[in-house]
Structure 1
């Protein structure tokens, strides 16, 4: 699975810093963790089980900036399955 534009737009928003955000997007349940600036950095996408954990896939955001704060790299990398 690759992340499509509508989902990427949702993940580009700024949320409350250092929290776990639970949302529903289309037919998927999402849980993602934010960093100290409120950007999504870890994403679980799939179906939420009875325990509340996502069964599906896990993605990690790769974001690198230079010394002046300009973004060099910013993409989502698939890290494997997310299972409870």
Structure 2
């Protein structure tokens, strides 16, 4: 599933630093992990299992910063593959 513009907009917001955030989006379950600046850097999207894990896809964010100001110059999300739980 490609990440749409509305989801990217949601992921460009700042959240609590070093946190795990669980949300719903467009009929899917989301879990994302934030870095020490509160920026989402790992995303799991799919169906939430009974143990709270997500069966679906995993994305990782690549952030390029300005060395002097630490401002984000570019960022993009890379699909890292399917995430499943087997018993």
TM-score, scaled relative to structure 1? 0.92
The total of aligned residue pairs comes to 84
Gaps spanning 5+ residues in structure 1: where?
none
The residue aligned with 1:44 is 44
Structure 1 runs (4+) greater than 6 angstroms displaced: none
Gaps spanning 5+ residues in structure 2: where?
none
Residues 41-65 of structure 1: CA deviation (Å, up to 9, x unaligned): 0000000011111000000000011
The residue aligned with 2:2 is 2
TM-score, scaled relative to structure 2? 0.89
User: Equivalent residues in 2 for 1:1-84 (5 A)?
Assistant: 1-68=1-68, 69-84=70-85
